[in-house]
Amino acid sequence: MSTNQVARDPREVLQKERRALVLAAEDVINKGFQHGPLEKPNKTQFSNLVGLCNEASCAEEIANYLRYQAGRKEWDREFALSVIDAIKPIVARLPDDPRLHVGAWKLYATYLTRAYVYQNAATGRRSS
């Protein structure tokens, strides 16, 4: 795919990866809840991730934020790393365009949030 095709139609490129992004997000959340509800992060932290994705200029900025949040103990370290690792193969399939990589993260963060809210409700916890 040429750079001009990506510049004209990034949504079409990302459309082809939506299913993979949903499945990756659900898998990460399901594994995170395997041993009971997640203590960290909470719904607010997922919302903050979506917000950051809307402002980020590259995927590395988003991964850096998650590692920072883990260092601050706002995200469980292993869970944050699993979130980062799960999207890597999907981003690797995309053309080398930061806009596409950030676009994939935006979708992924949204799907993570949705999956988290569902799993949290399914375990009987209030979303905070």
- pLDDT score recorded for residue 39: 87
pLDDT in tens, 91-113: 999 999 999 999 999 999 999 99
- Give 47-102 pLDDT, tens digit per residue: 999 999 999 999 999 999 999 999 999 999 999 999 999 999 999 999 999 999 99
Residue 2 scores a pLDDT above 70: no
Domain boundaries, the chain: 24-122
Q: Please identify which residue in the block is written with the tokens 């980020």.
A: 56
Extended strands (E) in the chain: none
Summarize pLDDT for 7-44 with one digit per residue, the tens: 557 788 999 999 999 999 999 999 999 988 888 999 99
Burial class (CB in 10 A: 0-12, 13-18, 19+), 78: exposed
CA distance 95 to 69: 28
Q: Which residues, including other chains, have CB under 8 Å from residue 111's CB and lie 6 or more apart?
A: 21, 22, 24, 25, 26
First-to-last CA distance in the chain? 42
